[in-house]
Amino acid sequence: MPEAKLEPLQHQSYEDVLFVNPNAPANHLFEAAESRLSRLEDMLRVLENHEGSDVLVMETARIASALAPLAGEAKQLYALAHQAR
């Protein structure tokens, strides 16, 4: 197994907290990306199916900022997986 080369995940406040190993097998990177996209999709469906004008609707900006890192990580993981192939 090649030595792990850690790369900081994008969309985080500090570059020394969360890492991904770009030398991981491509299928592992793809699965991690798909997991994040699935969670993102679930949350967006909750918003899509929500009716009413309560706190959830008023907190849209906060929800979007919480979901953006999932999308960014998935994008980064897919790019690394394509490089690993």
- pLDDT given for residue 53 in this prediction: 63
* Separation CA 9–CA 75 (nearest Å): 11
Long-range contact set of residues 45-50: C-beta below 8 Å, sequence gap at least 24: none
| Percent of the chain with pLDDT strictly greater than 70 | 86
Would you kindly state where each structural domain of the chain is located, as residue ranges? 24-82
* Separation CA 82–CA 46 (nearest Å): 30
Instruction: Between 60 and 3, name the one with better pLDDT.
Output: 60
* Separation CA 59–CA 22 (nearest Å): 35
Query: Looking at the predicted structure, is the pLDDT value of residue 46 above 90?
Result: no
* Separation CA 74–CA 41 (nearest Å): 12
- pLDDT given for residue 17 in this prediction: 77
Q: Which two tokens stand for residue 6?
A: 């850690």
